[in-house]
Amino acid sequence: MKVMIMGMDGYLGWTLGMYLADKGHEVSGIDNMLRRKMVAEIGSQSITPIKSMEERLDAYKKASGNDLTFYKGDLTESAFVNLAVKKEEPDCIVQLGQIPAAPYSMIDVEHCNFTQVNNIIGHNNILFAIKDNVPDCHLLKLGTMGEYGTPNLDIPEGFFEIEYRGRKDKLPFPRQPGSWYHLTKVHDTWNLMFANKIWGIRATDVMQGVVHGLNTPQMVNEDLLTRYDADEVFGTAINRFCAQAVVGHDLTPYGKGGQTRGYLALRDSMQCFTIAIENPPKEGEYRVFNQFDETYSVNDLAERVSKVAQEYGLEGKIWNIPNPRLEAEEHYYEPDMEHLPNLGFKPTNSLEDELHITIPKLMEYKDRIEAMRHTIDPKIKWTA
Ligand code: USQ
């Protein structure tokens, strides 16, 4: 299959390019290298020493014999997106080319607006490029479990049956996003559903949980590693806790630590994307997949990371710090996940097994964590 990855330089995008090419897909990708610039802007760096895109492509070719085609450019430029899609004629476009960080969008009005324009306009340009050039193409869109927020109800996969004043309907489940970033994903959902309605674009909207880890079968040498962030802006919960443990920083659940989310390992995220790509929606179908391995509270995660860290002689001290975010710290959380297991998805490892891979790998880069350590403690606040 011809697959085009938007955001091919990112944590997920680089990993997915190699993963799909190894499975025999013909892979191309786009990136404007924005993530590297944003991480530099906040004074941090990837803990893994990632190579330039040119070096990555060469290294992967040497290791696997496979070619990846790369276009450097900005998804917010509609003419560029149109041209690239027209040239490649992909069977599937995977949209990972967005700013993924809630804290970045909460810095100030400029960062909020930049995140919203970048994410929403880039996505719209892809919708129009599909309609104009490859109307049968499958769009695999990365959404987030955070679109639903933390309702006091079970969370279905996108839609639910509701009875109101004696009448019944199947409607989109309410969205209650928790940051300007999460709001962009909600806007994308509505734009995608509308494009599906008027043009029949076939689409999978993936509501993905928080991804962690650093290991897929393709990362056989240092040149092929994907990026790994642990700063307060781009680092996410498990990845931050593992990096914190390696340099003897306290593990930092925010507030009471009862915040519960779905989490999944990087290699399982790749497995899920591949299943969705290889089992496309029917003509004109819009479907929603919730995507995670397990749900955990941040306190539970910190304890699990601490336990494994201690096996490597690390202290793994946990210290609940004041929560910089406005979010429920104790709540009900029961999301469904049936579509992907029905198509064959099975988590590869237990969380503990993954931690036994991630923590020793990060220990190799202890100096690089020390160098970004000043960006670990949260300074960006949700409330004024
Ligand atoms: N948290 C801590 N301590 C930390 C860091 C985070 O307690 O040191 C807490 C947060 O307050 C939050 C939870 O952990 O309650 C998850 O935060 P996160 O930073 O790991 O993830 P989040 O901001 O939700 O965003 C990440 C990705 C985003 C994706 C989302 C999926 O950056 O791209 O959409 O996970 S989800 O969380 O399901 O919305």
pLDDT in tens, 327-383: 999 999 999 999 999 999 999 999 999 999 999 999 999 999 999 999 999 999 999
pLDDT tens, 133-171?
999 999 999 999 999 999 999 999 999 999 999 999 999
Q: Return the ligand 1 atom nearest residue 239 CA.
A: 20
Percent of the chain exceeding pLDDT 70 equals 100
Task: Report CA(23)–ligand 1 centroid distance (Å).
Answer: 31
Per the listing, tokens 């309605």 go with 197
Residue 254 lies in a domain: yes
Show the tokens assigned to 174.
Answer: 């309410």
Average pLDDT over residues 39-51: 98
Q: Whose CA is nearest to atom 21 of ligand 1?
A: 236
Q: Whose CA is nearest to atom 28 of ligand 1?
A: 100
Full DSSP string of 139-175: EEEEEEGGGS---SSEE-SSEEEEEETTEEEEEEPPP
Residue 138 lies in a domain: yes
Per the listing, tokens 């079968």 go with 217
Tell me the longest C-alpha to C-alpha distance in the chain.
64
- CATH number for the domain including 59? 3.40.50.720
User: What is the structure's pLDDT at 56?
Assistant: 98
Q: Which residues pair with 206 in a beta bridge?
A: 142, 289
Nearest to 207 by CA among 238, 240, 180, 173: 173
Q: Whose CA is nearest to atom 18 of ligand 1?
A: 236
Is the CB of 100 within 6 Å of ligand 1? yes
Strand order in the sheet with 286-291: 69-72, 26-31, 2-6, 92-95, 138-144, 202-208, 286-291
Residue 278 lies in a domain: yes
Catalytic residues: 144, 181, 185
* Choice from 260, 298, 323, 379 to test ligand 1 binding pocket (greatest atom count within 8 A of CB): 298
pLDDT tens, 268-318?
999 999 999 999 999 999 999 999 999 999 999 999 999 999 999 999 999
Judge contact between 312 and 57, C-beta under 8 A: no
Per the listing, tokens 């092929």 go with 224
pTM of the model: 0.98
Q: Whose CA is nearest to atom 26 of ligand 1?
A: 210
Residue 220 lies in a domain: yes
Residue 36 lies in a domain: yes
Show the tokens assigned to 2.
Answer: 């011809």
Q: Whose CA is nearest to atom 8 of ligand 1?
A: 252
Q: Return the ligand 1 atom nearest residue 234 CA.
A: 32
Is the CB of 297 within 6 Å of ligand 1? no
Task: Report CA(61)–ligand 1 centroid distance (Å).
Answer: 34
If one counts the domains in the chain, the total is 1
Residue 380 lies in a domain: no
User: What is the structure's pLDDT at 114?
Assistant: 98
pLDDT band at 384 (very low <50, low <70, confident <90, very high): confident
Fill in the DSSP letter of residue 318. Answer: B
**Domain range for residue 144?**
2-375
Percent of the chain exceeding pLDDT 90 equals 99
Is the CB of 259 within 6 Å of ligand 1? yes
pLDDT tens, 53-80?
999 999 999 999 999 999 999 999 999 9
Is the CB of 299 within 6 Å of ligand 1? no
Judge contact between 246 and 378, C-beta under 8 A: no
* Choice from 118, 212, 229, 236 to test ligand 1 binding pocket (greatest atom count within 8 A of CB): 236
Show the tokens assigned to 103.
Answer: 């804290």
Task: Report CA(322)–ligand 1 centroid distance (Å).
Answer: 15
Dist. CA 90–CA 309, nearest whole Å: 43
Is the CB of 145 within 6 Å of ligand 1? yes
pLDDT band at 8 (very low <50, low <70, confident <90, very high): very high
Q: Return the ligand 1 atom nearest residue 241 CA.
A: 8
Per the listing, tokens 């781009």 go with 234
Q: How far apart are the first and last CA of the chain?
A: 49
Q: Whose CA is nearest to atom 33 of ligand 1?
A: 100
User: What is the structure's pLDDT at 134?
Assistant: 98
Task: Report CA(237)–ligand 1 centroid distance (Å).
Answer: 6
Q: Whose CA is nearest to atom 15 of ligand 1?
A: 259
Residue 384 lies in a domain: no
Alpha helix (H) residue ranges in 223-350: 237-246, 266-278, 298-311, 339-342
Full DSSP string of 321-365: B--SS---SS---EE---HHHHTT---SS-HHHHHHHHHHHHHTT
Judge contact between 202 and 3, C-beta under 8 A: no
Residue 146 lies in a domain: yes
Tell me the backbone φ, ψ of residue 347, rounded to 5 degrees: -55, 140
